[in-house]
């Protein structure tokens, strides 16, 4: 959380120190983006797969007819 | 019957509705937690569960085309019986699955035909869900 005290301290830094802080934060953000981009999350949900549902429905009806 | 949402990594942010259920084929039974997935058009069974049930891949002749991450794997139709002592009593219910060759897929309980056989209410704000056998009108 950015406190007024922290902002005051940042403003009081020298030009060189401010550049170092900016560079450090840019590096942090780039690293986080890289980590987030490299993770893959599989989507297993067969959303909208009506063709598969239709096939399974017929298979189930056949199985029920054989059992009865 | 009420069930608690469960987390795969003990994080409250990853709570999901997983139903413990017994699947049977011929004389074999295996117990597994199935993910209740209302967005899934079908039930999906990972390869290893079918093997534990004694299913033979080559004997399942009906191919089921899948989408998403499962689209790269072949899947075949497989009918098994599902039971839970407090929900189905001694009357197991027939469920039809797309048995996928994917090893890491979860057991997905979807619209065809889990949600045709069971009535489910989700209470995510209370971290529980209610599953009952459908009423035959």
B63 contacts on A by Cβ (under 8 Å): 55
Bond from prior residue into B113 cis (ω within 30 degrees of 0): yes
The whole-number average pLDDT for the span A31-50 is 78
Confidence of residue B137 (pLDDT cuts 50, 70, 90): low
B8-25 pLDDT, tens digit per residue, is 777 778 899 999 999 999
The DSSP symbol for B9 reads: S
List residues bridging with B121 in a β-sheet. B130
Q: What is the pTM of this model?
A: 0.79
pLDDT category of residue A3 using cuts at 50, 70 and 90: confident
How many angstroms separate the CA of residue B1 from the nearest CA in chain A?
A: 25
ipTM of the complex: 0.89
Q: Distance (Å) from the C-alpha of residue A40 to the closest C-alpha of chain B?
A: 11
Q: From the list B42, B79, B113, which residue is nearest A46 (CB)?
A: B42
Could you give the CA distance from residue B122 to residue A50 in angstroms, rounded to a whole number?
A: 24
């Amino acid at each position: 959380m950015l406190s007024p005290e922290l902002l005051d301290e940042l403003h009081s830094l020298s030009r060189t120190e401010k550049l170092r802080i900016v560079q450090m934060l840019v590096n942090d953000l780039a690293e986080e983006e890289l980590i987030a981009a490299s993770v893959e999350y599989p989507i297993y949900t067969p959303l909208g797969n009506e063709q598969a549902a239709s096939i399974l429905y017929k298979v189930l009806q056949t199985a029920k007819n054989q059992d009865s | 019957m009420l069930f608690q949402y469960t987390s795969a990594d003990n994080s409250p942010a990853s709570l999901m509705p997983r139903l413990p259920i017994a699947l049977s084929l011929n004389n074999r039974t295996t117990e597994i937690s199935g993910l209740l997935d209302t967005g899934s058009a079908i039930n999906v069974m990972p390869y290893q569960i079918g093997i534990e049930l004694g299913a033979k891949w080559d004997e399942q002749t009906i191919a089921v085309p899948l989408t998403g991450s499962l689209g790269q794997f072949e899947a075949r139709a497989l009918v098994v019986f599902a039971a839970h002592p407090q929900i189905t009593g001694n009357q197991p219910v027939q469920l039809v699955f797309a048995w996928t060759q994917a090893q890491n897929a979860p057991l997905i309980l979807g619209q065809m035909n889990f949600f045709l056989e069971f009535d489910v209410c989700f209470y995510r704000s209370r971290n529980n869900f209610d599953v009952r056998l459908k009423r035959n009108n």
